[in-house]
Structures are given as structure tokens and as C-alpha cells.
Amino acid sequence: MVLQHSHIEWSKRDSGRVIKGSQNGFSLIEVLIYISIFSVISAIFIGVLSHATLGWTRSKVESEVQQNLRFAMEDIARTAQQATAILSPSVGSSATSLTAVVGGQNVQYSLSGTTLQKQVAANPVQNITTDKVKVTYLNFKTLQNTSLSNTSVQATSTQFAITVEYNSDNSQFLYTKHATSTATLKNK
């Protein structure tokens, strides 16, 4: 690679006559100006790139939390809608786990540390949420609706609430999402 230097012509007056000459290279002031301009442009570029990266990362954090929460809510709602009975929590009470009867098998949702898990009968436990998020709140409540004219149970529902946050100690990536829903059990 060949670098070309500027060609600077200069003239000097010496006792009335003009002496012309030339000097190859950059002066110290020119070098300092070029370095300053390059530094400013580099700083702006790095700032823009850093800001874009941070925005992209925050977007990924929010997406991860929302996907985990949505999947957990849909899975619990689907199980509750297919259930013929809720074994735990009992009617009118709240608990941090849910046990429902689906197709003759017990399906249980509970927390293991900060991970929501599901177990169907004696099958291995499945993680419903990933290790990228923490479930910080989980509550289930069983409700029964009765007719005013008839005290027999008309419908059984389960209400569930979950709070999920991103699993990071970095304050820039703190993101929490909460959802509550109710699902009615299918008729027997």
C-alpha cells in the first residue's frame, strides 16, 4: 500500500526576490486536525453502534419474557379446559401449584426454584419456562359457579396468575411481565 503525501508549495521573500520551493508530507497541525476529525467520527459511529446494540438486546429480552409467559399461560389454560376435575387447590383456596385431572391422568404445575414445570402422571418433569427467565409469582385459585335457583355446581374454573422476569442482574435488562387468566373446565 502506498500513501501519497500532499505536495505543498511555498514561497519566501528574501530581499525582494521570491524563492519558490516545495515540501513533501503533512505538517503537525494537519496531522492533529486529521486525527481530531477521525476521533470525532469514530466516537459518533461507536455511540450509534452501541445504542443500536443495546436496543436490539432490550428487544430480545422483552421478546424472551413475553414468549415464556404466553407459552405458560396457553399451556395452563389448555390443561384446565381439558380437565375434568381440579384436585389442588381446593375450591375457594389459593396455592402455588395446580393439580388437574386430564384424560384420567394427573397433571401438575409447580415451581422448581424459578422455573415453571409440568408433570403428567409419572412421566418426566417438563420445564415450561426457560432458564433465560425467572417466574417470580405463581398463584392458582379454584372457583365454582352455582345457579341461584339450584345449588348444584354449574361450572368449575381455575384462575391463574404468573409474573415472569428476565434472568439478569444487569439493571439495563430488567423486564417483568404479569398475566392473569381464568379457564373453565370441560363438562364431565
Q: Which three cell numbers stand for residue 69?
A: 409467559
Could you tell me if residue 180 is inside a domain? yes
CB burial string 143-156: b at 16+ within 10 A, e below: eeeeeeeeeeeeeb
Calpha distance 165→137 (Å, rounded) = 10
Could you tell me if residue 16 is inside a domain? no
| CA 140 centroid distance within chain | 24
Closest CA to 63 of 51, 55, 112: 55
Calpha distance 170→174 (Å, rounded) = 7
Could you tell me if residue 89 is inside a domain? yes
Number of domains observed in the structure of the chain: 1
| Residues of the domain holding 54 | 30-184
Q: Cβ distance 71 to 128 under 8 Å?
A: yes
Where does residue 37 fall: left (phi above 0), alpha (psi -120 to 50 degrees), or beta otherwise? alpha
Could you tell me if residue 15 is inside a domain? no
Could you tell me if residue 2 is inside a domain? no
DSSP 85-148: EEEESPBT-EES-EEEEETTEEEEEEEETTEEEEEETTSPPEESS-TTEEEEEEEEEEEEEE-S
How high is the pLDDT of residue 173?
Answer: 85
> Would you give per-residue pLDDT tens digits along the chain (188 residues)?
444 554 445 555 555 555 555 557 788 898 999 999 999 999 999 988 988 888 888 899 999 999 999 999 999 999 999 998 889 998 888 999 999 999 999 999 999 999 999 999 999 999 999 999 999 999 999 988 765 555 565 678 899 999 999 998 888 888 999 999 999 887 65
Calpha distance 129→167 (Å, rounded) = 11
